[in-house]
Amino acid sequence: MANFNTHLNTAVIITGLGSATLLSAGHIDLNGALWLWFLGSIGGLLPDIDSDNSTSLDTIFNLFALSAVLLVLHYITTELIIHISFIELIIVPLLVYGFMKYILRPIFEWITVHRGSCHSLLFLLLCALLTTQVTWQLNEQTTTQAATFAWLTGGFILLGGLIHLLLDELYSVDLNNATIKRSFGTALKIADFDNKLITLASVIAVAGLIYVAPPTEQTITALSDWSQFRLLS
């Protein structure tokens, strides 16, 4: 399998090019491009969230904690329109980080095994749809760009995750000796059918998220227009 740096660097390069392309075409603004780039980079590490390697796990959960803090603060200040004090500005991120690190992470480590459910297309689809739904709910849904950006956030999570799984499969093939390692096929799989309960729960969750997903018509229309794209000025 590919190492941590390979996963991260490859995801950063490819998703960075993707967000820059969308920016050049006028589909998103600079802030949107940077956010998609960040999400794509997280997606590139996402399947290793069940890793036994402490470096990978620490990095991924720290990124998740940072994302959670930003989302909570965004929701409090824009949706609830609450003016929080300096003390609250410190306490809220600490509470969110503590929840992620000392409650959510131990539970996740307990129920997962490396290269299990997290190394599957079903898991990536679930994460992508969940990201889409969260973004959709946190943004102003009446704007024409809201649904498009929500789908793009999920798409970049999915893209980063696919890059990770493909790299793991490529590193499972020894081209020099023309042999295939035992790990081949354990990364890029539809679902982890050995764990039927988690797979069933994931399928139900995916179906539910698809049912409540943002409309796709305006997204397809917007992303079909590349008239503003300029390779060179």
CA dihedral 132, 37, 1, 6 (to 10 degrees): -170
Quickly state the pLDDT bin for 181 (edges 50, 70, 90).
Answer: low
State both tokens at 77: 């200040």
Q: Which two tokens stand for residue 220?
A: 């397809």
Measure the CA–CA gap between 98 and 115, rounded to whole angstroms: 26
CA dist 171 and 164 (Å) reads: 11
Which tokens sit at 208? 């539910």
User: Could you give the C-alpha distances from 102 to 91, 94, 204, in angstroms and in order?
Assistant: 16, 11, 27
pLDDT (average), residues 86-94: 81
Q: How many helices (H) and strands (E) does the chain have?
A: 9, 2
Residue 118 pLDDT grade (very low, low, confident, very high; cuts 50, 70, 90): confident
In the block, which residue shows the tokens 């307990």?
Answer: 110
Calculate the alpha carbon distances from 161 to 43, 102, 118, 124, 215 in Å: 5, 25, 10, 6, 23
Structure tokens belonging to residue 72:
């909570």
Give backbone dihedrals phi and psi of 173, rounded to 5 degrees, phi first: -105, 120
- Enumerate the domain spans of the chain: 1-51+115-233, 52-113
Sign of the dihedral defined by the CA atoms of residues 48, 51, 56, 61, in that order? positive
pTM: 0.78
161 compared with 109, residue with greater pLDDT: 161
Find the radius of gyration of the CA atoms of the chain.
19
CB distance 116 to 50 below 8 Å: yes
3-class DSSP state of 139: coil
Find the helix packing angle between 121-138 and 196-211, rounded to 10°.
40
State how far the Cα of 203 lies from the Cα of 27, in Å rounded to an integer.
31
What pLDDT does residue 115 have?
A: 57
Eight-class DSSP state of 178: T
Selection from 164, 165, 156, 158 nearest residue 39 by Cα: 156
pLDDT in tens, 186-224: 567 888 877 788 889 999 999 999 999 999 988 888 888
| pLDDT exceeds cutoff 80 at 232 | no
- What single DSSP character describes residue 77? I
